[in-house]
A and B are shown apart, each in its own frame.
Chain A
Amino acid sequence: MSKFLAASIGRKFLMSITGLFLVAFIAVHLIINLMLIFDDSGELFNLAAHFMATNPVIKIMEPLLGLGFLIHILWSFYLEYQNWRARPVKYNKKDASTSSTWASRNMLVLGALVLVFLIIHIINFFWVIKFEPHTLDTVIIGGEEMEDTYTLVSNLFKGSVAYCIFYILGGLLLGFHLSHGFWSAFQTLGINNNHWMKRWHVLGYIYAVIVAVGFSVIPLYFLIKF
């Protein structure tokens, strides 16, 4: 294992696997979130959030997800440092935009900005729901008492234009990160050839747009409607 992670391709394998794990998580997260805008009474979202908080499968996945995030983030800084060291003397004049996309060259910058968003996002919601549930109101849906997470989320967006814009930016940044990250993960795993090159790119762009639009549309909805 240590030999595998010492090799450049082994190191990239770890980035790719954790990245795809996070891609799957984001899809689930987006589906749950979209319930915020399809039911203004908040019942649908509260039920979904309650299900996610109590479901045994999700409970097992939660620490794994934390680990996935940690590895993907910390490892990326280490790899970027190594790549940076491979060119001790930099070029005086560079014309990089003719041969590669901006996102592909700035995955660490995009990732770091998503990380800033992630930290504030966790403080806003996850922390409160997980460790300070007593500060939340409760609602009774279908005879079961549960935390009113809908009010927690909707109040943040209704009460602050700044937060709405911040969350829209967060969604867009994640989209840009995925516009390169999605297909790149499959390339690193070796699951690519002449036929699949275009397909992975198209699928990656579609997924990136769905994520960027999907997450941005929620704060936008609260911004416009309330």
Chain B
Amino acid sequence: MADKILKKLNIKVWRQKNAASKGKFETYTIENISTGSSFLEMMDILNNELIEKGIDPIAFDHDCREGICGTCSLYINGRPHGPDTEVTTCQLHMRKFKDGETITVEPWRAAAFPVIKDLVVDRTAFEKILQAGGFISVNTGGVPDANAIPVAYEDAEEAMDAAACIGCGACVAACKNSSAMLFVSAKVSHLAKLPQGKVEAKKRALNMVAKMDELGFGGCTNTGACEVECPKSISITNIARLNREYLGARLSK
């Protein structure tokens, strides 16, 4: 069956020339969009039309368009990655919208994620948090025998679930406090659950939290919005683990 066509859509989008300028909303009208196209394809079509009219196209982040790289963002109709669950914006389809609707598109809003241009924000803050401890620096030697280091099934599963984080920043965008706790907890958890990562677990938790605070992210108030809006459904039980790791590390120092 052929995809339906949305005859007319109003796209209310944040336009901002550069980091220093003030920025404001502009509304553009776009016609005949297939419900089978992705949200970013719709943005591409809109940008083509803008270029033909001599208007500067809308800048937005995108890369793999397969939902695995974490580059795309966008706060669409009041939700990070738009009105669908467990998807990134590139995997969001236009069938989630109604004909004639006005779609509001905003960049991630957080002091730690300043806008660079239009819908593109600077997420270097996440890299800085990773640089503060999101790695293993102990010598783990050569490749061990497959079962030489026993890892419980549950631990392996939880570590993999936490490692699914693609670092897109939807957790920060969704959080009413712009807290990065879900991101940091995922990065702390996927290492702390495994033998190689355990060695530096205490130092890692302390350093990554200190960096997160320094960069101006807010505190966690356990609303749980991050877990719901996370395209990879990272569980907030990771936040409990981060709290536990951090408090334990603080007590022993």
Contacts and interface: CB of A to CB of B under 8 A. Distances in A.
Partners in one complex: yes
B36 interface: no
B57 interface: no
A89 B110 CA distance: 7
A105 interface: yes
A92 B25 contact: yes
A9 B243 contact: yes
A11 interface: yes
A195 to B, nearest CB: 9
A197 B219 contact: no
A86 B111 contact: yes
B174 interface: yes
Nearest to A76: B221
A188 B228 CA distance: 19
Contacts of A104: 221-224
Contacts of B83: 95
Interface string B189-227: 000000000000000000001101100111111111100
Interface residues of A, number: 44
A94 B176 CA distance: 10
Of the listed residues B83, B219, B248, the one surrounded by the most CB atoms of chain A closer than 10 A to its CB is B219
A7 interface: yes
Contact of A83 (B177, B243, B248): B177
B46 interface: no
A188 B247 CA distance: 10
A192 interface: yes
B236 interface: yes
Contacts of A197: 236-237
A83 B236 contact: no
A87 B178 contact: yes
Interface in A147-185: 180, 183-184
B246 to A, nearest CB: 5
A91 to B, nearest CB: 6
B100 interface: no
A187 B111 contact: no
Contact of B77 (A83, A95, A101, A193): A95
Nearest to B217: A86
Contacts of A124: none
A100 B223 contact: yes
A54 B21 CA distance: 66
A6 B219 CA distance: 12
Interface string A7-29: 11111110000000000000000
Nearest to B212: A8
A188 B240 CA distance: 6
A84 B217 CA distance: 10
Nearest to A16: B243
A86 B178 contact: yes
Interface of A: 4, 6-13, 79, 82-96, 98-101, 104-105, 107, 180, 183-184, 187-194, 197
10 contacts: A9-B247, A83-B178, A86-B110, A86-B112, A92-B25, A99-B174, A99-B229, A190-B246, A197-B236, A197-B237
Q: Which 10 A-B pairs have the closest CB atoms?
A: A190-B244, A95-B78, A86-B218, A83-B177, A192-B240, A99-B228, A190-B243, A83-B218, A100-B223, A99-B225
Interface of B: 12, 14, 25, 75, 77-79, 83, 104, 106, 109-112, 115, 158, 174, 176-179, 181, 209-210, 212-213, 216-225, 228-229, 235-237, 239-248, 250
